[in-house]
Amino acid sequence: MKLSVIALFALFAVSAQAQVVVGLVDVQKVLTTIKEGQSIVKKLEASFNEKKATLKKEEERIKKMGEDLKKQAAVLSEQARLTKEREIQENIAKVQAKATDFQRDMQKMENDLKRPVIVKLRPVIEEVSKAAGVTMTFELGSAPIIYAENKKDLTDDVVKAYDKKSK
């Protein structure tokens, strides 16, 4: 225990003398800028638009059911009107459930598509960080760094290095 405390103090003493440079990388920007990431965005957009169109058709069908009910309300019996209203409510609930499922599916698809790219991205970030001479590198979106005296944004360099390696 004493040895680890002494080692920690020694590390801080050495690092206090050396200039600490913090590297920052906007991983989201990298993912949407690299060629492989742009391909992922296109796949996600295509899937999203397909699901959106499906939901829109369902919503239009429900809207028509509501309009038909309004037109027929005067001639329908109370029981028939209540049955149609219940049917409309059930359809609305089904569409809401489908929208939730679609949202979950899209999130899973995005994670599944991005995961392999992020795995390949880590060594590139390390390589660019070492070349830039930074002491440590943080992700801009998740790092709680509010201020760093010496910092470098490595995002554009990471994009260039990743695309160069991916060719």
Note the pLDDT tens digit of each residue in 53-104: 999 999 999 999 999 999 998 898 999 999 999 999 999 999 999 999 999 9
Number of domains in the chain: 1
> How far apart, in whole angstroms, are the C-alpha atoms of residue 159 and residue 25?
10
pTM score of the predicted model: 0.71
User: Is 4 inside a domain boundary?
Assistant: no
Q: Which domain holds residue 74?
A: 18-166
Q: Longest C-alpha distance within the chain, in Å?
A: 89
Check if the beta carbon of residue 144 is closer than 8 Å to that of residue 22. Answer: no
Q: What is the pLDDT of residues 12-40, one digit of tens each?
A: 554 555 688 899 999 999 999 999 999 99
Collect all residues with Cβ–Cβ distance below 8 Å to 40 and sequence separation of at least 6: 31, 110, 113, 114, 117
Residue 161 lies in a domain: yes
Q: Which residue has the higher pLDDT, 141 or 57?
A: 57
For residue 3, tell me if it sits in a domain: no
Is 82 within the bounds of a domain?
yes
Q: Is there a domain that residue 86 lies in? A: yes
- Any domain includes 2: no
Residue 104: predicted pLDDT:
97
Tell me, yes or no, whether 101 lies in a domain: yes
The domain spanning residue 119 has which CATH number? 3.30.910.20
Find out whether 37 and 117 touch, Cβ atoms under 8 Å: yes
Instruction: Provide the sign of the torsion angle of the four alpha carbons 156, 162, 163, 165, taken in this order.
Output: positive
Q: What is the Cα gyration radius of the chain?
A: 27
Average pLDDT for the chain: 87
